[in-house]
Copies of this chain bind each other. A is one copy, B any other.
């Protein structure tokens, strides 16, 4: 197959590197930043620049840009895409993308539209941090927008081939609802956590729990502002839920209520153990 990747940041470039390492697919890539495009060739994230000449040969076009840029970018590429090809995105939120794709699919009925969100990332961004191992054993959430079962099988196989452990099919809403918790809330908590006046004194007084809690305090604020704002109904719900729960611990501390604090801690610990063990879906 010929695979096109638009946007060679951490995720796009990692996808290209992996495709080139473990498949025979030809990888065409493009980035709005010419230095990034040049680098993509040098580090082996693409075979060649994605351009007007080879776009009609592309079987799967992955758009890996910020969510709000998706539609315009898709519009620029769709007119030259061949019938039967697949347009996919890699954004971290899906409701808006699904809407965009639905609109576009009216005009391009012979193209398949599939949303995807690789469940992998780093606290760093950009091609310099991309890794051909980023997707190893990660899952990929797939939101079918307009695609038949054979296309979805092809998409799933592509993800499994590059190292994902599973393609998890989901609606856009369900994706955004769960991701508000598993990803977005983590970033807000970590980002707010590091702002304690004690943070700069942690050296020598910290270990794994501090390291883990603050890892994703570092983030790309431009991208995350878009991701969070465009998911703000669900994210605010999660955030307020957490604030409410934290307030219970604060109350127990204020009251010196040991039994209550014990109960709160035990409930959380038991839940963590049962979730890890039971793999409740």
A residues sitting closer than 8 Å to B (CB atoms) are 119-122, 138-139, 141, 166, 168, 170, 175, 177-183, 185-210, 212-222, 224-225, 228-229, 232, 235-236, 238-243, 245-250, 253-254, 256, 258, 261-262, 264-269, 271-273, 275-276, 279-281
Number of copies of this kind of chain in the complex: 2
Best-buried of A139, A258, A271, A280 by chain B (most CB within 10 Å): A271
| Residues of chain B lying within 8 A (CB to CB) of residue A170 | 205
A212 to B229, CA, bound (A): 23
Whether the Cβ atoms of A267 and B195 lie closer than 8 Å is yes
Whether the Cβ atoms of A196 and B242 lie closer than 8 Å is yes
Whether the Cβ atoms of B218 and A272 lie closer than 8 Å is yes
| Shortest Cβ distance from A207 into B: residue | B119
Distance (whole angstroms) from the CB of A14 to the closest CB of chain B: 13
Whether the Cβ atoms of B246 and A239 lie closer than 8 Å is yes
- Partner of A179 from B183, B190, B205, B279 at Cβ < 8 Å: B205
- Partner of A182 from B202, B250, B264, B275 at Cβ < 8 Å: B202
Distance (whole angstroms) from the CB of A76 to the closest CB of chain B: 25
Whether the Cβ atoms of A188 and B249 lie closer than 8 Å is yes
Distance (whole angstroms) from the CB of A160 to the closest CB of chain B: 14
Whether the Cβ atoms of B229 and A206 lie closer than 8 Å is no
A189 to B132, CA, bound (A): 33
**Additional A-B contacts beyond A186-B213, A193-B242, A221-B262 (5; CB < 8 A):** A121-B209, A208-B216, A217-B271, A219-B269, A240-B250
Take A216-B212, A242-B192, A268-B217 as given contacts and tell me if A178 and B200 are in contact as well, using a CB distance cutoff of 8 Å. Answer: no
| Residues of chain B lying within 8 A (CB to CB) of residue A269 | 191, 217-221
